[in-house]
Amino acid sequence: MELNARIYVAGHRGMVGAALVRRLKQAGYFNLITRSSQELDLRDQGAVEDFFSLENPEYVLLAAAKVGGILANNTYRADFLYDNLMIQSNVLRESQRRGVKKLLFLGSSCIYPKMAPQPIKEDYLLTGPLEPTNEPYAIAKIAGLKLCEAYREQYDCNFITAMPTNLYGPGDNYHPQNSHVLPALLRRFAEAQALGHPRVVVWGTGTPRREFLHVDDLADACLHLMLHYNEVAPVNIGTGRDISIQELAELVTELTGYLGETVFDFSHPDGTPRKLLDVSRLHALGWQHSIGLREGIEAVLQSEDWRRATSASSLSVVA
């Protein structure tokens, strides 16, 4: 992938897409193609056709998606399924038709069965039922992965797929209800500390275990795959290490300086009991993560991104 190659980063304003743009620029790539969702609705097949005809990208990194936490996934089930199916189908179709040299499709670790053996190998896909709360999003991502495989088999397209674990870092969503677990906890504990609340409520039992990867590590792994991987099999991207939600809450309590009580609300669903990716395939390709969880959270709490998200005007009362 030459430094002057025309590279389309779909979803460049999102958390993952922005990290990809940062990493590519850092590596010396300068001919990047981007469009905001206001400029290009990837759900619109005609608009996507016109865009590819105009820009003719040589490489595509498909990070555009409709994303959210458990509540959002479970509330807007039709939207998550439809929007993601349309986005990826249109981009993959035009990439095949226009002869894109290589495409990376970013899926999600939620594609794996809820009760998959741990750590989760790529081969466990479609071996059991999905987690019900985010099934529509997972089904869309599975469809995207299989569409990449089908285009590769039928048209010899160099479409590769990667499945990231839970992400955090610059550009994260800190919405009190619609964010993922780590940013949600950071927001709740920071608010409680700032507003002097005596307790913070954490959804679920605290027993589920999760793996967390800094988004800049993900971007580095994606570039590594674009340069060194050309096979049909999906590749898990993660750290190979997990932590319980209770342990995570304790870490967030420490790093935010919160002095109150933490209460676990058992009436809310836990989701998958454990979700740890087997990253041996990625390690065999010569890549490992470099940002530890404590280090990564500390960087988040010192960032301008975080200060904007938790400014006095954005704080809300913690229940």
Beta strand 209-210 pairing with 159-164: unpaired
Domain presence at residue 2: no
In a domain, 281, yes or no: no
Task: Sort 215 into a burial class: Cβ within 10 Å, 0-12 / 13-18 / 19+.
Answer: buried
Handedness of CA 252, 319, 76, 123 (dihedral sign): positive
Is 35 annotated to bind a ligand? Reply is no
Listed residue (53, 79, 78, 55) closest to 66, CA to CA: 79
Same structural domain for residues 201 and 222? Answer: no
172-176, 198-202, 315-319: which range is least confident on average?
315-319
The reply to whether 284 falls in a domain is: no
Instruction: Please check if 166 is assigned to a binding site.
Output: yes
Domain of residue 50, CATH code: 3.40.50.720
| Residue 314 binned pLDDT confidence (cut-offs 50, 70, 90) | low
> Does the annotation place 286 within a ligand binding site?
no
Which span out of 59-73, 228-242, 293-307 was modeled with the highest average pLDDT?
228-242
SS3 293: helix
CATH number, position 304: 3.90.25.10
Ligand-binding annotation for 97, yes or no, is no
Range of the domain at 134: 7-168+212-237
Residues 101 and 124 in one domain: yes
* 167 annotated to a ligand binding site: yes
Q: Is there a single domain that holds both residue 81 and residue 218?
A: yes
Flag whether pLDDT at 313 surpasses 50.
no
Rounded percentage of the chain residues whose pLDDT exceeds 70: 96
Catalytic site includes residue 174: no
Residue 102 lies in a domain: yes
Question: Does the annotation flag 225 for ligand binding?
Answer: no
Q: Are residues 164 and 261 in the same domain?
A: no
Is 161 annotated in some ligand binding site?
no
pLDDT score at 73: 77
Same domain, 199 and 120: no
Its sign, for the CA torsion 115, 16, 188, 252, is: positive
- Say if residue 150's pLDDT is above 90: yes
Indicate if 81 and 112 belong to the same structural domain: yes
User: Which pLDDT value is given to residue 309?
Assistant: 79
Residue type for position 125:
L
Q: How many domains does the chain have?
A: 2
201 shares its domain with 245 = yes
Q: Which of 8, 29, 112, 137 is catalytic?
A: 137
Is residue 28 domain-shared with residue 159, that is, in the same domain? yes
Please give the Cα distance from 164 to 239 (Å, whole number). Answer: 10
pLDDT of residue 58: 98
